[in-house]
Amino acid sequence: MQYKIHTTPIWDAFKKDCLCPMCELNEQLSTRLVDRFLNEAVMVPTSRQLVNKYGFCSHHYDLLLMGDNILGVALQSITRTEHLQNILKPPVNAKTAKKQAEMLLKESMSCIICREMEEIMDRYYMTVANMYYNEPPFMKVLNDSQGFCLYHYAKLLENAHYARSKTEQFLECIYSVEITKLSKLKSDLNSFTEKFDYQKKDIPWGTSKDSPLRASKILTHRKI
Ligand SMILES: [Zn+2]
Ligand SMILES: [Zn+2]
């Protein structure tokens, strides 16, 4: 039963026409978690302790601020600030200052939403490889897929062993869709640049018009 719960969103993401099904899953998670930290989590003591400890990164703060519970954001910010007040010690010399700096730099980047997303995404990477082993129709879906962003391709490589006896086949499959994705991107980028050549400016855009935007999404690790 537990297994089924995890595969349904994966099936849905792979059926969707998108740049990367794993980014799609990541985005759904982000939306769900931001919503949780705007609603029920505000009043749950265990969640508040986690927010105090990890805070929110600037990206998720922005999403929270765009939500409809600014009071909830303020309340969580108060106790997070208190936590930081407690760990901020007077820097008495360069050595202690450096130590404090190291710790505070980590604090400035930590985020409870990013943490929870990472944990769940790790399970999704394993499950994708495991579905390739367990569910023959998924093999076809993966073979016919449009590939992944670079970051998620790397994450699937990392977890390939969960495809068990079909690991090599799984690797061959994801490599093939990924290299095709990059060739298509490069070809579209070439066509895009040709539009800036006066003699070729009348050639139709085809699928190249949004290729720089696609490059920014495919070649990077996006914060969602
Ligand atoms: Zn992705
Ligand atoms: Zn975050």
Each residue's pLDDT tens digit, 92-140: 999 999 999 999 999 999 999 999 999 999 999 999 999 999 999 999 9
- Residue 205 placed within a domain: yes
Q: Ligand 1 mean position to 27 CA, how many Å?
A: 10
Q: Which ligand is nearest to the CA of 29?
A: 2
Q: Which ligand is nearest to the CA of 57?
A: 2
Considering only residues 5 and 141, tell me which one the structure prediction assigns the higher pLDDT. 141
What is the domain extent for residue 38? 2-218
Q: Ligand 2 mean position to 65 CA, how many Å?
A: 13
**How many other C-beta atoms are found inside a 10 Å radius of the C-beta of residue 33?**
20
Considering only residues 199 and 172, tell me which one the structure prediction assigns the higher pLDDT. 172
Name, in order, each residue with C-beta under 8 angstroms of 196's C-beta and a sequence gap of 6 or more: none
Model pLDDT, residue 203: 86
Model pLDDT, residue 107: 95
- Residue 163 placed within a domain: yes
- Residue 224 placed within a domain: no
Indicate the residue type of 220.
T
Model pLDDT, residue 1: 42
Residues 223, 57 contacting (CB under 8 angstroms) = yes
Q: Ligand 1 mean position to 159 CA, how many Å?
A: 15
- Residue 171 placed within a domain: yes
Model pLDDT, residue 131: 96
Q: Which two tokens stand for residue 8?
A: 């349904």
Residues 22, 149 contacting (CB under 8 angstroms) = yes
Q: Ligand 2 mean position to 33 CA, how many Å?
A: 10
Q: What backbone phi and psi angles, to 5 degrees, belong to 154? A: -60, -40
- Residue 65 placed within a domain: yes
Residue 147 falls in which region: left (phi positive, over 0), alpha (psi -120 to 50) or beta: left
Q: Which ligand is nearest to the CA of 109?
A: 2
- Residue 108 placed within a domain: yes
d(CA 81, CA 83): 5
Q: Ligand 2 mean position to 63 CA, how many Å?
A: 9
Model pLDDT, residue 5: 60
Q: Is the pLDDT of residue 179 over 50?
A: yes
Q: Ligand 2 mean position to 155 CA, how many Å?
A: 19
- Residue 223 placed within a domain: no
Q: Ligand 1 mean position to 36 CA, how many Å?
A: 23
SS (H, E, C) the chain: CHHHHHHHHHHHHHHCCCCCHHHHHHHHHHHHHHHHHHCHHHHCHHHHHHHHHHCCCHHHHHHHHCCCCHHHHHHHHHHHHHHHHHHCCCCCCHHHHHHHHHHHHHHHHCCHHHHHHHHHHHHHHHHHHHHHHHCHHHHHHHHCCCCCCHHHHHHHHHCHHHHHHHHHHHHHHHHHHHHHHHHHHHHHHHHHHHCCCHHHCCCCCCCCCCHHHHHHHHCCCCCC
Model pLDDT, residue 200: 83
The number of folded domains in the chain is: 1
